[in-house]
Amino acid sequence: MREYWVILRAELFGLFISPATYVASFYFLSLLAIGFRFFIESFTTTDWILPPLSSLVVGLVFGSPGLIPFLTMRSFAEERRLGTLETLMSAPVGSISLVLGKWSASYLFFLIICGFAFCFPALLHFLFPEQGETLGFTQYEQWIGAWTFLMIFGASFTSVGIFASSITKNQMVAGMLSFTLLTLYLSVMAFSFGESSSLNSIDNFSDFWNACVGSFGHGLHKLQHFSVGLIDVGTIFHQLILSFLFLSLATLQVERLNH
């Protein structure tokens, strides 16, 4: 456990001193702020059915393929390129602590960026309380739901990035791979992550398939629940499994490198 904290601290420090992280975060937050501003301005004229706060979540989730690679691509690829992974493993540190430490650092940094993004509506509400109330910023269940949604998806997205970084020595390749995997993942999520069938209604393979991956045409269905403060345990479980899967693959890869 001690090694985990040491790795986490060192990785966070590494992210904080890396110019690439700042550049990526700045551009990401700037684009998000601009998008959010225009969305809020035109909110009354759009047919957006979700609370306005969810637009920020959608922006953060769909912008992740552009941000997550910057947070994760260095973690293992750079260590492998420099050969410092061997030095690291010569200390009393296990591969699980190593992977978890690096993943936690990227994840925390992602949450920090999400925290900054959440400052936009918070600031809006602080400066213009009436407008904020009209837009529903006083309903705290929406904030909790939106934050939980980001937390669970951030966990699985960063684990994909860590896995991509562990399989190559080249940072750029790691970055492109995690961008591709996340885009693919979001595409699948956007188109197929709909209503899951209950066990009672599984009568044929099609029902079973829908229960597993959801039905097409219900893009971001789960965000509807989260955006109004309805926590969907199934979605949390789903994302935790994905995080566990990719982190396990990254751990296996690190162990394979040493053999």
Partner 1 sequence: MSSETKPLPIVEVLNLRKRYGAIQALKGISFSIGKGEIVGFLGPNGAGKSTTLRILSGLIPADSGEAKVCGVDLAEEEGEVRRHIGYLAENNPLPEDLRVIEYLNFRARLKGLEGSRKRERTRIVLDICDLERKVSERKIGNLSKGFRQRVGIADALLAEPRLVILDEPTIGLDPRQSAITRKMMERLRGEVSFLLSSHILSEVEACCDRMIILSHGQIVTEGTLLELQKEFIHNTVFEIVAHGNRIDLQREIRRIDETCELIQDDPVEVTGKRRFTFSTEKGSEVAENILKRLLGVEQFKVSEFQITRPDLETIFLRATKKNWEDQDFLGRKKKRTEVANEQSE
Site for partner 1 in 219-258 (CB under 8 A): 258
89 binds partner 1 (CB under 8 A): yes
| Total of residues contacting partner 1 (CB under 8 A) | 24
Interhelix angle 95-127/53-82, rounded to 10 degrees, is: 150
Instruction: Pick from 6, 96, 228, 231 the residue near partner 1 by CB under 8 A.
Output: 6
10 binds partner 1 (CB under 8 A): yes
93 binds partner 1 (CB under 8 A): yes
84 binds partner 1 (CB under 8 A): yes
Phi, psi of 74 (to 5 degrees): -75, -35
12 binds partner 1 (CB under 8 A): no
Torsion over CA: 122, 128, 129, 130 (sign): negative
259, exposed or middle or buried, with CB in 10 Å at 0-12, 13-18, 19+?
A: exposed
User: What is the DSSP annotation of 146-196?
Assistant: HHHHHHHHHHHHHHHHHHHHHT-S-HHHHHHHHHHHHHHHHHHHHHH--PP
Binding region for partner 1 (CB under 8 A) out of 8-16, 142-150, 181-189, 241-249: 8-16
17 binds partner 1 (CB under 8 A): yes
| Shortest reach from residue 103's CB to partner 1, in Å | 17
Longest dimension (CA), the chain: 62
Q: Name the residues that contact partner 1, by CB under 8 A.
A: 2-3, 6-7, 9-10, 13-14, 17-18, 82-84, 86-94, 258-259
